[in-house]
Amino acid sequence: MPTNHDSLFIAGRWAAPSSDKRITVIGASTEEVLGGVPEGQEADVDAAVGAARTAFEDPHGWSSWPPARRADAMYRLAEALGKRRDEIANAVSSQNGMVITLAGVFESEFPTLLLRYYADLIRQTPVEEVRKGLLGGSVHVRREPAGVVGAIVPWNAPQALSATKYAPGLAAGCTFVIKPSPETVLDSVLFAEAVLEAGIPAGVINVVPAGREVGAYLVSHPGVDKVAFTGSTAAGRHIAEACGRLLRPVTLELGGKSAAIVLEDVNLNAPVIRDAFFNATMVVNGQSCYSSTRVLAPRSRYDEVVDWVATLARGLTVGDPLDPRTQVGPMATAAHRARVEGYIAKGKAEGARLVAGGGRPANLSRGWYVEPTVFADVDNKQVIAREEIFGPVLSIIGYSGEADAIRIANDSDYGLAGSVWTADDEHGLEIARQVRTGTIGINQYMNDPVAPFGGVKASGLGRELGPESLLEYQELKSIYR
Q: Where are the domains of the chain?
A: 8-254+457-480, 259-442
pLDDT of residue 299 exceeding 90 = yes
Active-site residue, from 174, 243, 289, 464: 289
Give tens-digit pLDDT for 254-274: 999 999 999 999 999 998 999
Give tens-digit pLDDT for 303-346: 999 999 999 999 999 999 999 999 999 999 999 999 999 999 99
**How high is the pLDDT of residue 2?**
73
Give tens-digit pLDDT for 185-232: 999 999 999 999 999 999 999 999 999 999 999 999 999 999 999 999
Residue 57 burial (10 A CB sphere; 0-12, 13-18, 19+): middle
**How high is the pLDDT of residue 3?**
78
Residue 304 annotated among the catalytic residues of the structure: no
- Bridge-partner residues for 475, per DSSP? 144
In the chain, what is the greatest distance between 2 CA atoms, to the nearest angstrom?
77
* Consecutive H or E run containing 132: strand 128-132
Q: What is the DSSP string of 317-367?
A: -BS-TTSTT-SB---SSHHHHHHHHHHHHHHHHTTPEEEE--S--TT--SS
In terms of CATH, what superfamily is 8-254+457-480?
Aldehyde Dehydrogenase; Chain A, domain 1 (3.40.605.10)
**How high is the pLDDT of residue 188?**
97
Q: Rg of the Cα trace of the chain?
A: 23
Active-site residue, from 253, 371, 464, 472: 253
pLDDT of residue 62 exceeding 70 = yes
> Which letter does DSSP use for residue 464 in this model?
B
Confidence of residue 4 (pLDDT cuts 50, 70, 90): confident
What count of residues does the chain have?
481
Nearest residue to 439 via CA among 457, 461, 456 = 456
Residue 243 annotated among the catalytic residues of the structure: no
Predicted TM-score (pTM) of this structure: 0.96
pLDDT of residue 101 exceeding 70 = yes
Query: How many angstroms separate the first and last alpha carbons of the chain?
Result: 56
Nearest residue to 330 via CA among 14, 94, 122 = 94
Q: From residue 382, how far is each of 324, 379, 412, 465 by CA, in Å?
A: 36, 6, 11, 33
Give tens-digit pLDDT for 412-467: 999 999 999 999 999 999 999 999 999 999 999 999 999 999 999 999 999 999 99
**How high is the pLDDT of residue 347?**
98
pLDDT of residue 114 exceeding 80 = yes
pLDDT of residue 54 exceeding 80 = yes
- Bridge-partner residues for 385, per DSSP? none
Fold (topology level) of 259-442: Aldehyde Dehydrogenase; Chain A, domain 2 (3.40.309)
